[in-house]
């Protein structure tokens, strides 16, 4: 049993519906998963939902529904969005599933037996309205709490804590000696700065059931439920445990619950997450894993946050981009392409409807779409769709670009890979059409051999583009393959070498890939 490349996303809170930020992260992870598959690796891609907590419990109550039934309904909406995004996930984890509860409780029991938890009294200020503890940082300059917190009372409460006092030094050393553990590098520096300049406070892992009962009971004290991170982060182990991963089952004594042969998944190769949950993944999670006797994930890959029109994306102000509305209007691949092309993995980004429409028109409709459509239409018109003899005119130039793109894909430089594809392949091939002017060659029978060469070079470039683009825009890539009359999917990067198109092969029917949207852009987000 060989270990699979195991990639995960953050699991989304089950309140509200998915927005651009959630969709972006999932598409990024999906592109990486598809790149790895296309490189011939066995991959396991996991995404899912984080369902416990006060907000979900309250929302279910307000809707007059049983909490589990409420979650089951909403989870279907999120699953449908995952399917709409064409995510190639191999499993979908929900923290309200019994398989998750079992693993969380197993871990808590193990760490409790190892003496890693203690019970202590927490004394603080508590907002009745928000049902949360406030800290000194929440005070306004005049010492009062913002009226949005409602009545704030002093509260004393017992809770369980995870002892972190002895953990700081080894973690600093680990991060310093493992440069690819946290990427991009500036996020790694942020974590190192945090660890070096702060005392690591013990992590509160429980809430009394009197205050929260929609959670996983603490196995050694059922007057408490597990609070947040010992629940959410464990999802990354739940699924390996369920599939009988040997490393996880040996460390945690779990039994598989999924039929089929066991899968080797742990350690995760990449956790894709947003910048706001970096500390939990790069500080608490490694410490939790070490305490469990499990190896650490190989990489935490941290993306930035999207804004819309320069403002925070927010349900309360209505400043949202609804991925489903965009996909319904412009097509899935336009959405997938835009988000990955516009925002590299790292900095924050800004969505504007005009920016989206501009890239759609220039890069998809007039760039890629026009290239494929005119290349294949000319082959159809001038050669009845039959591929002419092989010509290597663009071969060496393109092989260099292909290598650069594949190197970037291997390094998860997704935006940079798209820049190369458009800058050096799409634009180059469109320029080649203009320079060689096949429509003029077609009028002169003495130039038939030259026309053959040009048509071969263009069709072969389209084939290679389909292969390179498949991880990003799989449906479009498959349509290009279909229009080329090629069987199967362009899902093997090894096929991105010059000369794959065979002379004498008859292509299929050309059809526009990206219909031109000539009307002024309508607002895309309307909900
Ligand atoms: N449930 C926790 C994660 C637990 S992971 C073990 C959570 N959920 S979330 O729904 O709030 O966020 C899920 C992911 O979406 C996070 O990685 C977060 O950074 C990302 N995003 C949420 N809003 C975002 C933007 N506006 N832009 C980009 N990504 C953002 O945190």
| 10 C-beta closer than 6 A to ligand 1 | yes
| Cα 16 to Cα 322: distance, rounded to the nearest angstrom | 12
**Helix ranges, 167-272 (H):** 168-177, 185-197, 229-232, 235-242, 246-252
Q: What is the pLDDT of residues 479-503, one digit of tens each?
A: 999 999 999 999 999 999 999 999 9
Number of neighbours of residue 414 by Cβ within 10 angstroms = 22
Ligand 1 centroid distance, CA of 81 (Å): 15
Cis bond before residue 513 (omega within 30° of 0) = no
Distances from the Cα of 120 to the Cα of 105, 133, 304, 350, angstroms? 20, 15, 36, 44
What is the per-residue pLDDT for 209?
Answer: 95
DSSP-derived 3-state class of residue 92: strand
Whose Cα sits closest to atom 8 in ligand 1?
12
What is the per-residue pLDDT for 40?
Answer: 98
Asked whether residue 519 carries a pLDDT value surpassing 60, the answer given is no
pTM above 0.85, yes or no: yes
Asked whether residue 520 carries a pLDDT value surpassing 50, the answer given is no
Asked whether residue 154 carries a pLDDT value surpassing 80, the answer given is yes
Which tokens is 259 given?
Answer: 């039929």
Q: What is the pLDDT of residues 281-323, one digit of tens each?
A: 999 999 999 999 999 999 999 999 999 999 999 888 889 999 9
| 107 C-beta closer than 6 A to ligand 1 | no
pLDDT confidence bin for 148, thresholds 50/70/90: confident
Q: What is the pLDDT of residues 397-449, one digit of tens each?
A: 999 999 999 999 999 999 999 999 999 999 999 999 999 999 999 999 999 99
Ligand 1 centroid distance, CA of 478 (Å): 31
| Cα 360 to Cα 365: distance, rounded to the nearest angstrom | 6
Asked whether residue 522 carries a pLDDT value surpassing 60, the answer given is no
| 305 C-beta closer than 6 A to ligand 1 | yes
| Rounded (to 5) percent helix, strand, coil in the chain | 50, 15, 35
Q: Mean pLDDT score of the chain, rounded to an integer?
A: 95
């Amino acid at each position: 049993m060989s270990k699979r490349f195991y990639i995960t996303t953050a699991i989304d809170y089950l309140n509200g519906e998915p927005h651009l930020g959630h969709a972006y992260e999932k598409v990024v992870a999906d592109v990486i998963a598809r790149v790895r598959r296309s490189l011939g690796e066995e991959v396991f891609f996991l995404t899912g939902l984080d369902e416990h907590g006060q907000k979900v419990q309250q929302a279910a109550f307000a809707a007059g529904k049983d909490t589990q039934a409420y979650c089951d309904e909403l989870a279907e909406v999120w699953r449908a969005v995952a399917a709409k995004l064409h995510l190639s996930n191999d499993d979908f984890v929900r923290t309200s599933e019994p398989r998750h509860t079992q693993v969380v409780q197993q871990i808590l029991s193990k760490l409790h037996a190892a003496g890693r938890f203690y019970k202590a009294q927490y004394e603080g200020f508590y907002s009745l309205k928000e049902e949360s503890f406030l800290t000194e940082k929440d005070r306004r300059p005049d010492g009062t709490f913002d009226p949005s917190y409602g009545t704030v009372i002093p509260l004393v409460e017992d809770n369980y804590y995870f002892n972190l006092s002895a953990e700081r030094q080894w973690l600093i050393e680990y991060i310093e000696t493992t440069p690819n553990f946290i990427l991009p590098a500036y996020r790694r520096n942020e974590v190192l700065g945090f660890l070096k300049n702060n005392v690591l406070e013990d992590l509160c892992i429980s809430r009394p059931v009197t205050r929260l009962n929609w959670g996983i009971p603490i196995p050694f004290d059922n007057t408490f439920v597990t609070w947040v991170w010992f629940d959410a982060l464990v999802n990354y182990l739940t699924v390996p445990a369920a599939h009988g991963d040997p490393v996880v089952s040996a460390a945690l004594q779990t039994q598989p619950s999924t039929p089929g042969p066991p899968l080797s998944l742990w350690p995760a190769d990449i956790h894709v997450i947003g910048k706001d949950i970096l500390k939990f993944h790069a500080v608490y999670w490694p410490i939790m894993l070490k305490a469990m006797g499990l190896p650490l994930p190989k990489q935490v890959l941290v993306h930035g946050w999207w804004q819309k029109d320069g403002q925070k994306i927010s349900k309360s102000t209505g400043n949202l981009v609804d991925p489903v509305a965009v996909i319904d209007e412009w097509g899935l691949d336009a959405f997938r392409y835009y988000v990955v092309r516009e925002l590299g993995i790292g900095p924050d980004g800004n969505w504007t409807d005009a920016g989206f429409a501009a890239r759609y028109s220039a890069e998809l409709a007039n760039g890629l779409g026009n290239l494929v459509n005119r290349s294949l239409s000319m082959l159809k018109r001038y050669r009845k769709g039959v591929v002419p003899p092989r010509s290597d005119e663009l071969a060496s130039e393109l092989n260099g670009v292909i290598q650069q793109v594949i190197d970037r894909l291997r390094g998860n430089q997704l935006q940079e890979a798209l820049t190369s594809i458009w800058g050096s392949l799409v634009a180059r091939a469109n320029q080649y059409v203009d320079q060689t002017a096949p429509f003029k060659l077609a009028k002169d029978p003495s130039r038939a051999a030259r026309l053959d060469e040009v048509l071969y070079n263009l069709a072969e470039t389209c084939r290679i583009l389909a292969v390179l683009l498949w991880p990003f825009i799989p449906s479009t890539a498959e349509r290009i393959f279909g229009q080329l009359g090629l069987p199967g999917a362009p899902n093997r990067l090894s096929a991105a070498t010059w000369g794959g198109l065979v002379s004498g092969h008859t292509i299929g029917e050309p059809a526009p890939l990206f219909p031109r949207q000539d009307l002024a852009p309508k607002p895309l987000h309307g909900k």
